[in-house]
Amino acid sequence: MKQLNVKKLVLLNLPYFLLGLFATNLGEAWRLATGADASAKMLSFFSTLPVALGSWWPSLHPLDLAVGLCCGAGLRLAVYLKGKNAKKYRHNVEYGSARWGTHEDIAPYIDPVFQNNVILTQTERLTMSSRPKNPKYARNKNVLVIGGSGSGKTRFWLKPNLMQMHSSYVVTDPKGTILVECGKMLQRGAPKLGKDGKPVKDKHGKIV
């Protein structure tokens, strides 16, 4: 558990505290202002403002303290929300600092169980889990593969992912070859895995 840094906390919130104390004088000016409606009270407010600001001491009247508290807390909340929604910049990193990704970069997105992944490349995979332990690593499972005729879209991407057999599939087969080549495998279903995670084989050496 992180230790509370009291000094840092005080320094961060001191400006809002001082603003709140100053705002008590504004609350005093508004309280002393007279008028039957808002416009008349506003005109009177500007005439009582110099009186309220005549002293550097904050007003300790409960209503004035409430105004100061609202002003100080409101500004602190506004700064907090602005900082929370601020864009994330890579400070002190120059343009042109792009690099090739490493295994450490893709590792959080890969399921430890090989069969529970979408195969992207020989070394990159994407977990099928829609709720990983860390939500920031959740990704859409849609994959767009672009390539000309004979470039290996079916052979090197579709078939390996069909062989994962981790979910249900809807496959368009315009050439009529996928059903012939993968149908029997899908009919048998996913292989039974042992405790070591490897497929179980029968006495003849065939995968169960």
The whole-number pLDDT of residue 130 equals 87
Q: Is 165 left (phi over 0), alpha (psi -120 to 50) or beta?
A: left
pLDDT tens digits, 47-58: 888 888 887 788
The whole-number pLDDT of residue 181 equals 92
Concatenated DSSP letters for 16-60? HHHHHHHHHHHHHHHHH---SSHHHHHHHHHHHHHHHTTSSSPP-
Sign of the torsion angle spanned by Cα atoms 106, 110, 115, 117: negative
Q: Which residues of the chain have pLDDT under 50?
A: 1
The whole-number pLDDT of residue 199 equals 77
**Geometric angle at alpha carbon 93, from 92 and 95, rounded to 5°:** 130
The whole-number pLDDT of residue 204 equals 75
The whole-number pLDDT of residue 61 equals 87
Concatenated DSSP letters for 132-172? -SSGGG-----------TTSSHIIIIIHHHHTT--S-----
The whole-number pLDDT of residue 3 equals 64
The pair of structure tokens assigned to 181 is: 């080549």
Tell me the β-bridge partners of 171.
Answer: none
Longest dimension (CA), the chain: 101
pLDDT tens digits, 39-87: 888 888 888 888 888 877 888 888 888 988 999 899 999 888 888 777 7
The pair of structure tokens assigned to 127 is: 């977990």
The whole-number pLDDT of residue 1 equals 47
